[in-house]
């Protein structure tokens, strides 16, 4: 990943689509990228990359999004994006998706498109690439370019789908965003031109309107074709020239240079506004808007980008350091970015308890004023520069650490920003050239330039208050009158858990040569499994499982929630969570301890050179967890704010309650009622964890670009060095029980009134065998195609209905297959009837034919064929290797079963797994009271 990708804000930037040949010649793109420009203005970028094997990743990037729409056209660029898959001169209406599926591209995951403010991007991910598939992909992109038929019939079919998507995306969070945009940009299209669009405009859209936008903004000059992966550069370039050279812009085509937004001016008046809704957390934001020159890519622009990153980083560090201990888990954000061509947006925000927003605003004002008056220290600047150096050095050492998908996405991102994609060597040289100028005094001046004029204040609040805008201004002005002290750089305490005793001794060591898995046991009972891979160079995944093979905590309502939400925030005995953030900054270390059916577990991705440090951090959390009172205080405060019981999204609520729905008899799977959550205490967790660490199984799995001897030594010095007294056990078998079926459950959310989630779940206890696992995968895929056609394409009642499944990894585990649809409440009965009919027809064989089976099989087979080319697969196979040594072979066996499946076998599977008497039906609808 490029340094300047990492340093950019993730949610905003200056998006300037421009010719690659117009940028400053101070910088040159990565030589691995072969780029060219046709006479008609179309740009292409080609890059050979070996990971994943055989994959070809394609993007068609068009410099036109919702910001080019008129007031009456809001959502029509989004609608046009949908129409691109529904008929062109060479591909009849309804055939494009089917053609792509037969190439092995699943609609949604491998084939998709996105409309944004500034651009529309079409995405084809060919997992099993070939020259023929590349040719087909380019042909379809050429069809999208200027060959769309845009018929009234296709428009009539697509409108309900887009309208369903608009309804599906409606939320109180979106309402808040729109209100804030209108407050910030009252005279700009940014206030109203959401890419999703307006249902009213889409419902009234005409073919003439779509064709007008199509002819004006789908032009070769606005288009970039990106192809990355296992390709032949010369052959691909010829194909692009043959396919796109004759594309001529329409006479009404609009040049990219004609797209500017109104520029901002320095604000001379302090402004404030607020948005109230009881379903939202309280957040206060202090920000500044001002104009900023748009620079072509070059040293000056990269210098400004580095300045901005450093300012953001330094203010974030200060703001988090100023938080009281009990607020350390609160969301803090510092953003500094170019808002398209509009200008500069600079803001600091802080989530707080509803009654503490005044203190939060005061903290924001005084943190910013402290930096504006006193600047930064050389010590904190040097520490931040060290982080950048480490990042570039890692990229230099591992130039192939990003896969083809990531490279294609980066190219899209950089093109949109008008930036070159640089080679790590040039990034290093550029950074070394700029580093002497990145001083504390220079950053102080840059900060003052970016915070000119009067700021704005915005409050999102769960409790309405009268005349709050005036009070926001008053609190800010009162804070300005208070004296501030100079910043005192905190002295960093060395990490207290570097040494865990004498390195452990390996007492057992064996290798499965065929699987490439090595299994070791240390004298203290710690089990280590290793599997070197080369899929992500310089990266490894570390997984730990601790316990007795079953749910770890006692049956106490809400105790699991306390652990999941607050254990890590409790820090360590010698370091608070805040101190850990300071000590470990920039090291790329993380912990995320969770509970599962097997006990306590964690899995993190880490740079290989940080493996020893990562294992040390894991070990520290096991032997010296902090269980600090400030973490418990914050947890209880969030409960009082209904943070866990207030649900504004039907889909999110369903998945939060999913485990509880499948295990209604076990309180450990329940989120917990607020009154019970308030009773929970760390003292209920501490002895259970200590016992698991001392006496339970402790299994470590490490997969990735590792040196085996170094990994073994790292475990020996950390977990292997612990004094433990493990019991002579293996694993307690997981004994799952089916919920009482058939059954129905009702959940209540507090989001959009008309939003209803429907789910059908068919649990099972016989999906462990390879044959049944394969049958469930294929049935899932067939069901996905059918519900997409039935609910999305034909009915237009659900934008993205989807299926889901899980096969048991142990003989006694619970498996399931299910489907989910988010719908308008007026369509609930109709959707229920359609799904019930579809399931009946699937079981009787009425809905399955050879074409449908081929469309289901091909993407699935290609995905399975490549699944073993990932660290994720080998992590699972390596972890399962002790109890199921042949687990890694399941992939090929599943592939063979699916390849051999016929229509009759799918019908039989539907009869076995999708019967009415085995179904759990869940309806999540709007309700006034918390469920």
Provide the residue range defining the domain that includes 438: 271-399+416-481
What confidence category does residue 258 fall into, taking pLDDT thresholds of 50, 70 and 90? low
Statement: residue 18 has pLDDT above 60: no
Residue 447 lies in a domain: yes
What confidence category does residue 17 fall into, taking pLDDT thresholds of 50, 70 and 90? very low
**pLDDT tens track for 538-568:** 899 999 999 987 767 888 999 999 999 999 9
695 and 795 together in one domain: no
**pLDDT tens track for 876-898:** 999 999 988 988 899 999 999 99
pTM as predicted: 0.90
Contact at 8 Å (CB) between 86 and 219?
no
Statement: residue 686 has pLDDT above 50: yes
Residue 442 lies in a domain: yes
Looking at residue 256, its pLDDT comes to 83
Residue 501 lies in a domain: no
359 and 288 together in one domain: yes
476 and 524 together in one domain: no
The alpha helices in 96-130, defined as continuous H runs, are 96-102
Max avg pLDDT among 24-38, 87-101, 256-270, 689-703: 689-703
284 and 217 together in one domain: no
What confidence category does residue 127 fall into, taking pLDDT thresholds of 50, 70 and 90? confident
d(CA 317, CA 614): 22
Question: Which position has the higher pLDDT, 331 or 717?
Answer: 717
User: How are strands ordered across the β-sheet holding 120-126?
Assistant: 33-37, 43-48, 223-229, 56-62, 120-126, 111-115
Which token pair is 800?
Answer: 């993205």
201 and 281 together in one domain: no
d(CA 133, CA 811): 40
Looking at residue 342, its pLDDT comes to 74
Lowest mean pLDDT among 71-85, 238-252, 325-339, 353-367: 325-339
What confidence category does residue 402 fall into, taking pLDDT thresholds of 50, 70 and 90? confident
Statement: residue 244 has pLDDT above 80: yes
**pLDDT tens track for 819-828:** 999 999 999 9
Looking at residue 815, its pLDDT comes to 92
683 and 826 together in one domain: no
Lowest mean pLDDT among 125-134, 156-165, 610-619: 125-134
Residue 31 lies in a domain: no
Residue 11 lies in a domain: no
What's the mean pLDDT in 804-825? Answer: 91
699 and 769 together in one domain: no
Q: Is residue 418 classed as helix, strand or coil in its secondary structure?
A: coil
Statement: residue 16 has pLDDT above 50: no
Question: Which position has the higher pLDDT, 367 or 867?
Answer: 367
Looking at residue 278, its pLDDT comes to 86
**pLDDT tens track for 307-318:** 999 999 999 999
Looking at the DSSP bridge assignments, the partners of residue 4 are: none
Statement: residue 117 has pLDDT above 80: yes
Residue 608 lies in a domain: yes
Looking at residue 874, its pLDDT comes to 97
Which token pair is 413?
Answer: 């991102």
Which token pair is 201?
Answer: 């405009």
Question: Which position has the higher pLDDT, 88 or 808?
Answer: 88
Which token pair is 243?
Answer: 């396919």
Number of domains composing the chain: 4
Question: Which position has the higher pLDDT, 475 or 129?
Answer: 475
Residue 262 lies in a domain: no
**pLDDT tens track for 166-217:** 999 988 999 999 999 999 999 888 888 999 999 999 999 999 999 999 999 9
230 and 112 together in one domain: yes
- Report which of 549, 562, 714 is spatially closest to residue 625, judged by C-alpha positions: 562
Statement: residue 632 has pLDDT above 80: yes
Contact at 8 Å (CB) between 716 and 521?
no
Residue 606 lies in a domain: yes
Question: Which position has the higher pLDDT, 856 or 6?
Answer: 856
537 and 431 together in one domain: no
d(CA 787, CA 107): 13
- Report which of 894, 877, 784, 777 is spatially closest to residue 838, judged by C-alpha positions: 784
**pLDDT tens track for 706-732:** 999 999 999 999 999 999 999 986 555
Contact at 8 Å (CB) between 654 and 925?
no
- Count Cβ atoms within 10 A of the Cβ of residue 815 and give its class: 0-12 exposed, 13-18 middle, 19 or more buried: buried
User: CATH number, domain at 895?
Assistant: 3.30.830.10
d(CA 923, CA 746): 5
548 and 687 together in one domain: yes
Question: Which position has the higher pLDDT, 259 or 243?
Answer: 243
d(CA 148, CA 612): 56
d(CA 794, CA 161): 9
**pLDDT tens track for 463-511:** 888 899 999 999 999 999 999 999 988 788 899 999 999 999 999 999 9
Looking at residue 928, its pLDDT comes to 63
244 and 296 together in one domain: no
Q: Tokens 């019967």 identify what position?
A: 915
Looking at residue 548, its pLDDT comes to 86
178 and 226 together in one domain: yes
d(CA 484, CA 452): 20
């Amino acid at each position: 990943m490029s340094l300047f990708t990492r340093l950019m804000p993730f949610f905003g930037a200056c998006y300037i689509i421009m010719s690659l040949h117009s940028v400053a010649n101070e910088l040159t793109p990565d030589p691995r990228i072969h780029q060219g420009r046709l006479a008609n203005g179309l740009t292409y970028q080609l890059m050979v990359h070996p990971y994943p094997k055989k994959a070809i990743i394609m993007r068609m990037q068009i410099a036109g999004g919702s910001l080019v729409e008129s007031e009456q056209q809001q959502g029509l660029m989004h609608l046009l994006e949908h129409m691109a898959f529904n008929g062109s001169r060479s591909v009849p209406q309804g055939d494009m998706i089917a053609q792509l599926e037969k190439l092995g591209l699943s609609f949604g995951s491998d084939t998709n498109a996105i409309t944004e403010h500034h651009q529309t991007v079409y995405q084809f991910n060919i997992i099993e690439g070939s020259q023929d598939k590349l040719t087909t992909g380019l042909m379809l992109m050429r069809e999208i370019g200027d060959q769309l038929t845009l018929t009234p019939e296709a428009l009539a079919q697509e409108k309900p789908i887009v309208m369903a998507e608009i309804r599906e995306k409606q939320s109180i969070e979106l309402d808040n965003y729109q209100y804030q945009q209108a407050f910030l940009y009252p005279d700009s299209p940014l206030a109203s031109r959401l890419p999703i669009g307006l249902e009213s405009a889409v419902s009234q859209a005409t073919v003439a309107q779509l064709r007008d936008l199509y002819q004006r903004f789908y032009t070769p000059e606005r288009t970039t074709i990106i192809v990355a992966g296992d390709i032949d550069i010369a052959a691909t370039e010829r194909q692009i020239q043959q396919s796109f050279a004759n594309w001529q812009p329409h006479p009404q085509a609009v040049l990219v240079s004609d797209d500017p937004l109104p520029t901002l001016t320095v604000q001379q008046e302090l402004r404030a506004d607020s948005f109230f809704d009881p379903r939202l957390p309280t957040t206060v934001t202090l920000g500044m808007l001002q104009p900023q020159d748009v620079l072509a890519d070059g040293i000056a622009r990269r210098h400004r980008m580095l300045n901005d990153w450093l300012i953001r980083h330094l203010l974030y560090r200060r703001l988090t350091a100023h938080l009281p201990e009990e607020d350390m888990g609160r969301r803090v954000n510092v953003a500094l970015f170019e808002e398209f061509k509009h200008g500069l947006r600079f803001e600091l925000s802080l989530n707080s308890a509803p009654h503490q927003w005044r203190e939060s605003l005061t903290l924001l004002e005084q943190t910013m004023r402290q930096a504006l008056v006193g600047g930064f220290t050389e010590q904190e600047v040097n520490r931040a520069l060290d982080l950048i150096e480490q990042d570039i050095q890692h990229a230099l050492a591992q130039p192939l650490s990003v896969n083809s998908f990531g490279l294609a996405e980066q190219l899209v991102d950089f093109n949109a920003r008008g930036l070159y994609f640089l080679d790590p060597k040039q990034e290093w040289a550029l950074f070394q050239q700029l580093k002497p100028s990145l001083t504390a005094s220079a950053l102080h001046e840059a900060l003052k330039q970016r915070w000119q004029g009067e700021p704005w204040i915005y409050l999102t609040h769960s409790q309405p208050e009268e005349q709050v805008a005036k009070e926001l201004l008053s609190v800010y002005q009162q804070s300005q009158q208070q004296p501030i002290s100079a910043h005192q750089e905190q002295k960093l305490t060395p990490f207290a858990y570097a040494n865990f005793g004498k390195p452990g001794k390996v007492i057992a060591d064996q290798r499965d040569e065929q699987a490439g898995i090595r299994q070791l046991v240390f004298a203290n009972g710690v089990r280590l499994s290793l599997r070197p891979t080369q899929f992500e160079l310089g990266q490894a995944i570390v997984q730990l499982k601790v316990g007795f093979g079953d749910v770890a905590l006692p049956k106490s309502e809400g105790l699991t929630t306390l652990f999941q939400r607050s254990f890590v925030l409790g820090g360590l005995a010698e370091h608070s969570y805040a101190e850990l953030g300071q000590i470990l900054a920039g090291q790329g270390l993380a912990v995320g301890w969770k509970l599962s059916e097997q006990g306590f577990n964690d899995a993190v991705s880490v740079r290989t050179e940080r493996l020893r440090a990562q294992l040390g951090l894991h070990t520290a959390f096991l032997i010296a967890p902090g269980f600090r009172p400030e973490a418990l205080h914050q947890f209880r405060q969030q409960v009082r704010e209904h943070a866990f019981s207030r649900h504004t999204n039907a889909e999110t609520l369903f998945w939060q309650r999913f485990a509880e729905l499948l295990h209604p008899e076990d309180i450990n799977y329940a989120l917990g009622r607020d009154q019970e959550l308030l009773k929970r205490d760390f003292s209920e967790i501490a002895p259970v964890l200590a016992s698991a660490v001392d006496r339970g199984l402790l299994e470590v799995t490490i997969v990735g670009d590792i040196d085996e001897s170094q990994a073994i030594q790292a475990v020996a010095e950390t977990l292997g060095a612990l004094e433990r007294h493990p019991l002579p056990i293996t694993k307690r078998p997981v004994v799952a029980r089916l919920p009482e079926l058939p059954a129905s459950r009702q959940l209540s959310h507090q989001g959009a009134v008309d939003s209803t989630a429907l789910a059908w779940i068919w649990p099972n206890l016989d999906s462990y065998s390879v044959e049944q696992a394969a049958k469930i995968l294929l049935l899932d895929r067939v069901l996905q195609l059918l519900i997409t056609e039935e609910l999305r394409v034909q009915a237009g009642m659900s934008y993205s209905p989807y299926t889901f499944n899980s096969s048991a990894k142990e003989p006694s585990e619970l498996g399931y297959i299910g489907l989910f649809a988010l719908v308008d409440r007026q369509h609930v009965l109709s959707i229920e009837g359609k799904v019930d009919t579809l399931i009946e027809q699937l079981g009787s064989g009425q809905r399955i034919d050879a074409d449908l089976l081929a469309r289901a099989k091909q993407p699935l087979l290609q995905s399975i064929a490549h699944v073993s080319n990932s660290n994720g697969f080998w992590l699972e196979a390596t972890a399962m290797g002790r109890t199921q040594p042949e687990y890694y072979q399941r992939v090929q066996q599943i592939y063979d079963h699916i390849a051999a499946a016929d229509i009759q076998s799918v019908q039989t599977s539907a009869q076995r797994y999708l019967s009415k008497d085995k179904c759990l039906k869940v309806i999540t609808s709007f309700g006034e009271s918390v469920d």
